[in-house]
């Protein structure tokens, strides 16, 4: 019985470690998602710039962003070992973006759900008109404001 428990514990811990190691490189060298935003209802230049700014921070492997004429939404991922400073990171990035894009209402989130939703939105950006896109972005921003 005892041996079994030891065996399973080690199996568990080590298999988890291995998987962890296997995932990390992909996290650190993210492949850019291939999407074209040429035909997006709003010019996504600001969003692209915001992504670059966010990714220049230490420990941020990937950031995605969309903008409308007035709003800028940015979601980013953080290396897992740096997640203790998640809230501070969020604040510093938000401050920086607010300074850089004064004309925009900036929302920054590190939440996985917001990241997924933003990714989904970006992938179908071309098929939306302005009104729909405004609504979608507003929905995501509302979701990120929700408190526990």
Partner 1 sequence: MANEQRKLQTKIMQEYYQLEKKNETKRPVVQNCLRAFLVGGIICSIGQAIQFFYMYFFHFTQQTAGNPTVATMIFLSMLLTGFGVYDRIAQFGGAGSAVPVTGFGNAVISAAIEHRTEGFVLGVGGNMFKLAGSVILFGTFSAFVVALIKTILIKWGGF
Partner 2 sequence: MVASFFWAFVIGGLICVIGQIMFDVFHLTPAHTLSTFVVIGAILDGFGLYEPFIDFAGAGATIPITSFGNSLVHGALQEAEKHGLIGVLTGMFEVTSSGISAAIIFGFIGALLFKPKG
Q: Using the rule CB under 8 A, give the single segment among 33-41, 46-54, 85-93, 124-132 that binds partner 2.
A: 85-93
With CB under 8 A as the contact rule, the residue among 48, 70, 80, 91 that binds partner 2 is 80
Position 31 contacts partner 2 (CB under 8 A) = no
106 strand-pairing partners: 72
Position 12 contacts partner 2 (CB under 8 A) = yes
Residue 23 contacts which entry, partner 2, partner 1, none (Cβ below 5-8 A, type-dependent): partner 2
Position 147 contacts partner 2 (CB under 8 A) = yes
Our measurement of the distance from residue 124's CA atom to the centroid of its chain's CA atoms, rounded to an integer in Å, reads 17
Q: How far is the CB of 81 from partner 2 (least distance, A)?
A: 8
> In which region does residue 3 sit, left (phi positive, over 0), alpha (psi from -120 to 50) or beta (all else)?
alpha
Our measurement of the distance from residue 60's CA atom to the centroid of its chain's CA atoms, rounded to an integer in Å, reads 9
Is the sign of the CA dihedral 112, 115, 120, 121 positive or negative? positive
Kindly tell me which of 113 and 135 has the beta carbon lying closer to partner 2. Answer: 113
* Token pair recorded at residue 143: 């979701």
Position 6 contacts partner 2 (CB under 8 A) = no
Position 120 contacts partner 2 (CB under 8 A) = no
The string of DSSP letters for 9-78 reads HHHHHHHHHHHHHHHHHHHHSPPPP----TT-SS--HHHHHHHHHHHTSTT--EEEEEE-SSEEEEEEE-
Binding positions for partner 1, rule: CB under 8 A: 2, 5-6, 8-9, 12, 111-114, 116, 143-144, 146-148
Position 91 contacts partner 2 (CB under 8 A) = no
């Amino acid at each position: 019985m005892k041996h079994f428990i030891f065996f399973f514990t080690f199996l568990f811990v080590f298999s988890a470690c291995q998987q962890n190691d296997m995932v990390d490189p992909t996290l650190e060298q993210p492949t850019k998602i291939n999407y074209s935003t040429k035909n997006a209802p709003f010019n996504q230049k600001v969003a692209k710039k915001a992504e670059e700014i966010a990714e220049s921070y230490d420990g941020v492997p990937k950031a995605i962003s969309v903008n409308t004429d007035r709003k800028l939404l940015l979601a980013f991922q953080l290396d897992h070992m740096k997640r203790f400073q998640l809230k501070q990171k969020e604040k510093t990035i938000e401050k920086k973006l607010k300074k850089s894009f004064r004309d925009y209402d900036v929302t920054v989130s590190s939440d996985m759900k917001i990241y997924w939703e933003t990714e989904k939105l970006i992938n179908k950006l071309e098929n939306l008109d302005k009104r729909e896109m405004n609504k979608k972005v507003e929905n995501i921003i509302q979701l990120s404001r929700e408190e526990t």
